[in-house]
Amino acid sequence: MKQAEKTDLGSIEERRRRNMRQLLLRASRIVNRHVVEGLHARGYADLRSTHTTLLSNINLAGSTVTEAADRAGVTKQAMGRLATELADAGYITVRSDPADARARVLHLTKSGTRLMLDSLQVMTDLQKSYARLIGHDQLSAVLDGLEAFITRSEPD
C-alpha cells in the first residue's frame, strides 16, 4: 500500500471515529456497561445489557411490545424475546391488551419497579462519577446539547 493511500485511510478512520453517530454509539455502550455493572453490584446478577433495551423503553404505566420496540428501534420479535426473558426473571408481566387482544402490554412487577428505582440511583451515581471524570461544566454541556438536539430533531 502506498503512503498516500495509508494517509487517506488514516484520515477516513479518524473521520469515522469522530463522527456524531460513532461517538454516540460508543458513549451509549460505555454508559450501558456501567449501568449493568452497577446493577450487578446491587444484586441483579441475571440482568444483561440487552435487557436495558426493553427496560429503558417501557412506560411506568405499561407499554405494548410494539411501542417499546419502536422507541428502541428494534423489531417487535426482538422486543418480544426480551420481554419473555424479563418476564421469566420476574421483572415484568406480559398481558393481553383488553382493547386489542393482538397487542401484548408490558408492566413492571414489584421487582421490576425496584430494579427501575435502583437503575435510576445507579445512573445518578454514574453522572456524579462522569462529572468528576470530565468536569461538571463539560458534562452539563453534553447533557444540555443532547437534550436540545433530541428536542429539535424528534417529530412532535
Q: Taking a C-beta distance cutoff of 8 angstroms, is the pair 95, 108 a contact?
A: no
- The boundaries of the domain holding residue 43 are 3-153
Q: What is the pLDDT of residue 12?
A: 85
Cβ atoms within 10 Å of 134's Cβ, excluding its own: 11
Is residue 2 very low, low, confident or very high in pLDDT (cuts 50, 70, 90)?
Answer: low
Q: Which residues pair with 64 in a beta bridge?
A: 105
Three cell numbers at 125?
451515581
Please report, rounded to a whole number, the percentage of residues in the chain having pLDDT higher than 90.
Answer: 77
CATH number where 60 lies: 1.10.10.10
What phi, psi does 98 have (nearest 5°)? -60, -30
Q: What is the pLDDT of residue 127?
A: 98
What phi, psi does 6 have (nearest 5°)? -60, -45
What domain count does the chain have?
1
Q: Is 155 helix (H, G, I), strand (E, B) or coil?
A: coil
- 100-108 β-sheet, strand order: 63-64, 100-108, 92-97
Q: What is the pLDDT of residue 128?
A: 98
Q: Is the pTM of this model over 0.85?
A: no
